[in-house]
């Protein structure tokens, strides 16, 4: 995705004081500011839509403290997600949110977008794992919200700021909660002849009281694209695979894995494989986490969608997505967090063909409308950004949006931070009204 070039080169900042100084400068010269972590977001959150200053946090990347006894870490916003889990592994701890981009995305970016990942089915998204934030507000004041403790008397400002996509404040320090690494992890791959059998298995697994740590689905087209690239061992002739993980104490992981295998077989799984060792497990996950890259090899461009539906609506929704694919004449692959109904349809197109571009965008909008009709939402983890801000009225009334605008104004009264994101652009508000440009080439922004 590309955006309006920033008016000023992105300053790489090293400390909070520099952030404060730049905010003061921005106020003096009336410039907008966009915070940026690694720029891996998929809704355009880190793009300077209206120019101004892009504040790159990539050098503010220090893990300031690991407090193993209390299972906390204090980090700067530019710390890469996976680096934190690697640094805390020796204490038997890790940071639970694990977006597919975790090798490069930053904790600050995770806070902005309230990022998820495959394991959020069991462990929740970023807001469930952050206890405190240090903020620089658009008037250059520094505010602490939350702290190391699990709760703070007063309004949950940290909970509000997480997921506000950089439109409320710039985050300069983050206190995260670390989880204990599980004793046992069992990774399963269930292979199906029909997509419906796979989705029925997902519903039945949770209905039986099993909440896997992760439950991912790849449809036939996608798994073939992935297999050609990653060689994870996905069977090329199947209609869908479920990649599932259960973890915890050995006895619980064993029992749950057995139960899941039984459910999958009952729903006509052709085969259920167990990863035999860490290498096999890593390979299966590589297949999942590098899937977007694999798709990039077979199509000049693709559009990654992110919508959520109730998991019981998986089958009818996927059938409708198939219909949309047919009538728009574009391949749509499906790879998603099935356990929590978080879809990621991938619409393949050639960005050099304006007609295909238009059809891809229309198909994306249709799928988003479908998610909302099914009782779901516009985004489960990628954020609204500038991709879906004009779709917000599908979920929210003008009254709802007006209150959100007022809440944003309580932090960011003149719209200096990340303008043109999250909320629909109001008529005559002075912000440049751009068409949403949600199309991704290669899966990286």
Footprint of other proteins on 281-340 (CB under 8 A): 308-312, 337, 340
Q: Which of residues 130-169 bind other proteins (CB under 8 A)?
A: 137, 141-145, 147-157, 159-160, 162-164
Q: Which is nearer to other proteins, 49 or 408 (CB)?
A: 408
User: At how many degrees (to 10) do helices 220-230 and 291-298 cross?
Assistant: 90
Q: Which residues contact 315 (CB under 8 A, 6 or more apart)?
A: 195, 196, 199, 200
Q: In this structure, what token pair is assigned to residue 177? A: 């909660």
Q: Which of residues 357-376 bind other proteins (CB under 8 A)?
A: 375-376
**Counting contacts by CB under 8 A, is residue 380 touching other proteins?**
yes
Tell me how many residues contact other proteins (CB under 8 A): 91
Q: Based on C-alpha coordinates, what's the Rg of the chain?
A: 22
Q: Is 383 helix (H, G, I), strand (E, B) or coil?
A: coil
- Considering only 50, 88, 114, 201, the residue that binds other proteins (CB under 8 A) is 114
- Considering only 35, 78, 97, 182, the residue that binds other proteins (CB under 8 A) is 182
Burial class for 354, CB neighbours closer than 10 Å (0-12, 13-18, 19+): exposed
Q: Which is nearer to other proteins, 91 or 229 (CB)?
A: 91
Question: Smallest distance, Å, CB 331 to other proteins?
Answer: 26
Measure the CA–CA gap between 272 and 274, rounded to whole angstroms. Answer: 7
Torsion of CA 84, 88, 94, 98, to 10 degrees: 20
Which region among 24-32, 118-126, 268-276, 282-290 touches other proteins (by CB under 8 A)?
Answer: 118-126
**Counting contacts by CB under 8 A, is residue 25 touching other proteins?**
no
Q: Is 425 helix (H, G, I), strand (E, B) or coil?
A: coil
**Counting contacts by CB under 8 A, is residue 399 touching other proteins?**
yes
**Counting contacts by CB under 8 A, is residue 436 touching other proteins?**
no
| x-or-dash string of contact with other proteins, 235-274, rule CB under 8 A | -------------xxxxx-xx-------------------
Measure the CA–CA gap between 419 and 259, rounded to whole angstroms. Answer: 49
Q: Which is nearer to other proteins, 64 or 143 (CB)?
A: 143
Instruction: Work out the widest C-alpha separation in the chain, in whole angstroms.
Output: 66
**Counting contacts by CB under 8 A, is residue 183 touching other proteins?**
yes
H-run or E-run covering 72: strand 72-75
Which region among 232-240, 267-275, 283-291, 377-385 touches other proteins (by CB under 8 A)?
Answer: 377-385
Give me the DSSP letters along 342-374: EE-EEEEE-TT-HHHHHHHHHHHHHHHHHHHHT
Q: Which of residues 26-65 bind other proteins (CB under 8 A)?
A: none
Q: Which is nearer to other proteins, 159 or 316 (CB)?
A: 159
**Counting contacts by CB under 8 A, is residue 342 touching other proteins?**
yes
């Amino acid at each position: 995705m590309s955006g309006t070039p920033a008016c000023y080169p992105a300053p790489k900042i090293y400390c909070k004081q520099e952030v404060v100084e730049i905010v003061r400068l921005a106020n003096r010269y009336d410039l907008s500011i966009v915070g940026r972590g690694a720029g891996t977001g998929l809704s355009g959150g880190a793009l300077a839509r209206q120019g101004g200053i892009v504040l790159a946090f990539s050098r503010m990347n220090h893990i300031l403290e690991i407090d193993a006894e209390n299972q906390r870490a204090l980090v700067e916003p530019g710390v890469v997600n996976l680096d934190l889990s690697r640094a805390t592994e020796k204490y038997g701890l890790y940071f639970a949110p694990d977006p597919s981009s975790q090798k490069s995305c930053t904790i600050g970016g995770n806070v902005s977008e309230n990022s998820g990942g495959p394991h959020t089915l069991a462990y929740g998204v970023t807001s469930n794992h952050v206890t405190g934030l240090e903020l620089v507000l658009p008037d250059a004041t520094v505010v602490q919200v939350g702290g190391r403790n699990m709760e703070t008397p007063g309004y949950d400002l940290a909970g509000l700021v997480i997921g506000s996509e950089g439109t409320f404040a710039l985050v300069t320090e983050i206190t995260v909660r670390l989880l204990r690494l599980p004793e046992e992890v069992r990774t399963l791959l269930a292979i199906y002849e029909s997509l419906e059998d796979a989705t029925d298995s997902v519903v039945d697994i949770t209905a039986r009281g099993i909440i896997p740590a992760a439950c991912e689905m790849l449809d036939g087209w996608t798994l073939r694209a992935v297999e050609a690239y990653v060689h994870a061992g996905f069977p090329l002739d199947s209609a869908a695979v479920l990649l599932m993980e259960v973890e915890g104490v050995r006895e619980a992981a064993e029992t749950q894995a057995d139960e899941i295998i039984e459910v999958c077989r009952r729903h006509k799984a052709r085969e259920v494989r167990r990863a035999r060792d860490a290498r096999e497990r890593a390979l299966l996950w590589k297949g999942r986490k590098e899937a977007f890259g694999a798709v990039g090899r077979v199509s000049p461009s693709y559009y990654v969608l992110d919508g959520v539906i109730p998991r019981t609506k998986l089958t009818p929704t996927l059938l409708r997505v198939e219909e949309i694919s047919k009538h728009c004449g574009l391949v749509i692959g499906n790879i998603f967090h099935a356990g929590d109904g978080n879809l990621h349809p991938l619409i393949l197109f050639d960005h050099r063909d304006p007609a295909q571009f238009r059809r891809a965008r229309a198909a994306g909008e249709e799928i988003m409308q479908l998610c909302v009709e099914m009782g779901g939402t516009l985004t489960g983890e990628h954020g609204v950004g500038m991709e879906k801000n004009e779709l917000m009225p599908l979920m929210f009334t003008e009254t709802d949006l007006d209150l959100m605008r007022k809440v944003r104004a309580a932090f960011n009264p003149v719209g200096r931070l990340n303008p043109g994101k999250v909320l629909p652009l109001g008529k005559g508000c002075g912000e440049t009204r751009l068409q949403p440009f949600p199309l991704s080439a290669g899966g990286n922004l």
